[in-house]
Homo-oligomer: A and B are copies of this chain.
Amino acid sequence: MSDPRVISLEKIKVACQNCSLASFCLPLGLKQGDIEKLDQIVKRSRPIQRGEGLFHIGEPFQNIYAVKTGSFKTFIQTEDGGEQVLGFHLPGELIGLDAILDNRHGCSAKALETSSICKIPFNQLEVLSTQLPSLQHQIFRLMSNEISKDTNMLMLLGNRSADERLATFLLSLSRRLAQRGFSATEFNLSMSRHDIASYLGLAVETVSRLFTRMQQDGLLKVDRKFVRLLDMERLDALCEKNPHCHGKQLLP
């Protein structure tokens, strides 16, 4: 119908009503009419290039962000010039929830690839959520999820070996991608080895060695950014062998 060379503005302006991520994101649990009200305060932005920042630590807090496409990392700069990566954010996940308390961002966020985002002015969201109990409930749920995600991460960093950490990380990505309709066994890592290492509390060299060793062991195949998980069984075993989490999985 339309010329495929022309970028459709419709695609950028997808409303919450039609968004495929609605079932992970703020609209979950809302009635049709309520989604429309939410939709009116959401600002959809032009694409964000790889490496471009979303907000910087210390900046005043105005908006929370929902990833629409692509991926982001949140991080804190260390004084020696390094970065501590705090999290990776896939479509449907919210960024900025840690800033409510002191009205200032507690970390920085930047795009790992060309991405797009929905921007939601938090004070408007707060007002709206007093009017829509199910919206309030969903915000509570998402914040609660953020908290349990972090505590899982604590478990990971607190008492797991390097290979267990990497396996857990890969399976977490796999699961989140699968939820969003992508392949659970083949995907591209949008983040660098450095980012992965920092996130998992390891050295880059260790991550690199682990990838090659896991490949030798037939657990996976890795080529640059591209990963194919071959033996989910044994990868799972690496993750589950430790904590007795009553069916909980580590990492979101």
User: Which A residues contact B (CB, under 8 angstroms)?
Assistant: 57-58, 76-80, 82, 84, 86-87, 97-101, 106-107, 126-127, 129-131, 133, 136-137, 139-148, 150-151, 153-155, 157-159, 198-199, 201, 242-248
Contacts and interface: CB of A to CB of B under 8 A. Distances in A.
A167 to B, nearest CB: 17
Contact of A100 (B129, B130, B141, B157): B141
Nearest to A243: B78
Contacts of A148: 98-99, 101, 106
Contacts of A147: 97-98, 143, 146-147, 150
A144 B144 contact: no
A244 B201 contact: no
Nearest to A147: B98
Contacts of A107: 151
A199 to B, nearest CB: 8
Count of identical protomers in the assembly: 2
Contacts of A159: 78, 82, 84, 198, 201
26 contacts: A57-B248, A76-B155, A76-B243, A76-B244, A76-B245, A77-B244, A78-B159, A78-B242, A78-B243, A79-B242, A79-B244, A82-B159, A86-B154, A86-B155, A98-B147, A98-B151, A99-B144, A101-B145, A106-B151, A107-B151, A126-B133, A126-B136, A139-B140, A150-B154, A157-B201, A158-B201
Contact of A57 (B146, B157, B246): B246
Given A97-B147, A101-B148, 12 more contacts: A57-B248, A58-B246, A58-B247, A78-B159, A86-B155, A98-B147, A100-B141, A100-B143, A106-B148, A126-B133, A140-B143, A147-B150
